[in-house]
Amino acid sequence: RKEVEQDPGPFNVPEGATVAFNCTYSNSASQSFFWYRQDCRKEPKLLMSVYSSGNEDGRFTAQLNRASQYISLLIRDSKLSDSATYLCVVNYRDDKIIFGKGTRLHILP
């Protein structure tokens, strides 16, 4: 099993729809989790941290399921500007940070 695995997509979703994607990780000792957004030919930018209790930031909701070892990202009322690649990041040591390869999202007008 890969350390961090994401469905590469692309997910083609009509504007206004809800979309969700998961990221699985293999190391049960993982400590911290994040979702980043990366636009084409740009640097990754932090979207949100992921906590065991789940967290929400506007239209975005992130969840952590430690028992099944995955994190999820839900985007509600999707906008054209949400089109990007979404990277999940898992830390299981303070110097062991694993980036997923990303899930591409295309929001269709």
Partner 1 sequence: NAGVTQTPKFRVLKTGQSMTLLCAQDMNHEYMYWYRQDPGMGLRLIHYSVGEGTTAKGEVPDGYNVSRLKKQNFLLGLESAAPSQTSVYFCASSYIGYEPQHFGDGTRLSIL
State the Cα–Cα distance between residues 15 and 31, nearest whole angstrom.
34
3-class secondary structure, 27? coil
Does 91 interact with partner 1 (rule: CB under 8 A)? yes
List the one residue from 71, 100, 104, 107 that touches partner 1 (CB under 8 A): 100
On the 0-12 / 13-18 / 19+ scale of CB atoms within 10 A, 32 is middle
List the one residue from 37, 83, 102, 105 that touches partner 1 (CB under 8 A): 102
List the one residue from 26, 27, 44, 69 that touches partner 1 (CB under 8 A): 44
Measured from the CB atom, is 82 or 100 closer to partner 1?
A: 100
Give Dmax (Cα) for the chain: 42
State both tokens at 82.
Answer: 């949400």
Measured from the CB atom, is 53 or 95 closer to partner 1?
A: 95
Q: Please report how close the Cβ of residue 85 comes to partner 1 at its closest, in angstroms.
A: 10
Whose CA is closest to 63, among 26, 8, 22?
22
Region from 15-23, 60-68, 71-79, 98-106 binding partner 1, contact rule CB under 8 A: 98-106
The tokens 């591409």 sit on which residue?
104
Residues forming the site for partner 1 (CB under 8 A): 31-32, 34, 41-46, 49, 87, 89, 91, 93-97, 99-102
